Amino acid sequence: MTFGRFFLLLLVLLAGFALAVRQELIEVPPRWNPWAPLDIREPPNLLTPLKLRRLQQDRTLCEQALATAPLRYAAVPDSTPEPGCPVENSVRVQGSDVRFNGPFLATCPLAAAYAMFELHGLQPAAQAVFGQPVVRIDHFGSFACRNIARSNRRSQHASANALDMAGFHLKDGTRITVARDWQGDGDKARFLRLVRDAACDAFNVTLGPEYNAAHHDHFHVDMGGFGMCR
């Protein structure tokens, strides 16, 4: 059998397996079923990005996913807060196992990705470096009806699909900020690098101080694009 025929046969077998899973003829664990709702409590795997994308256009699927997250939130009707900047399938995140300096508007995929980041990335990083959890996050906001700097393209902030995180408070009162603590090789800098790496795993785009001067004091995370970690 030539390689081309073998590859074609493999594709047919995979397609048949996927169809059998979708029609529930074959049972697989939900975390490995691409059509099962996202369970934020489960560790991320190769199917997680696909499941996050599916949340964008499906409010019911969004609600099922967020029901597995430690988020306090309220659903927000689709609207256009400012001309040219519609916000759809979104929620207002009020809190979680950590507090925020203020609630923020977020698309469902952004809220779900944040919940995964907090559970599977942020808190493990804090425990690894400091042996205690993060209890508060300071952010610069999510929704802003504007273009990308020096561009005619809309920012992901224009649809509440982005969040800017600037600082983190630990249980003992220690405060860590991107602006002050990114540089160096101490525990705070090491923690912030772990946080940046965890954000890269959870969100489609993560931009920090190494990207440009405009991000010297925060991590920008969003669910647009096809992947960037800087």
Quick one: tokens of 75? 């659903």
pLDDT at res. 13: 40
Q: Does 137 have pLDDT greater than 90?
A: yes
* pTM, to two decimals: 0.86
* Closest listed residue to residue 201, CA positions, set 172, 221, 224, 173: 221
pLDDT at res. 26: 56
pLDDT band at 136 (very low <50, low <70, confident <90, very high): very high
Quick one: tokens of 25? 């003829």
pLDDT at res. 9: 42
Quick one: tokens of 109? 């995929």
More confident residue, 25 or 178: 178
Domain boundaries, the chain: 1-36, 51-229
User: DSSP H helical segments within the chain, as ranges?
Assistant: 3-22, 48-55, 59-66, 108-117, 123-130, 178-181, 187-202
Q: Does 28 have pLDDT greater than 80?
A: no
- Residue range 187-202: average pLDDT? 97
pLDDT band at 185 (very low <50, low <70, confident <90, very high): confident
Q: What is the DSSP letter of 211?
A: T
- Give the C-alpha distances (Å, rounded to integers) separating 70 from 25, 75, 94, 146: 33, 15, 11, 31
29/154 Cα distance (integer angstroms): 39
Q: What is the pLDDT of residues 213-226, one digit of tens each?
A: 999 999 999 999 77
pLDDT at res. 3: 46
216/182 Cα distance (integer angstroms): 9
Note whether 138 and 104 are within 8 A (CB): no
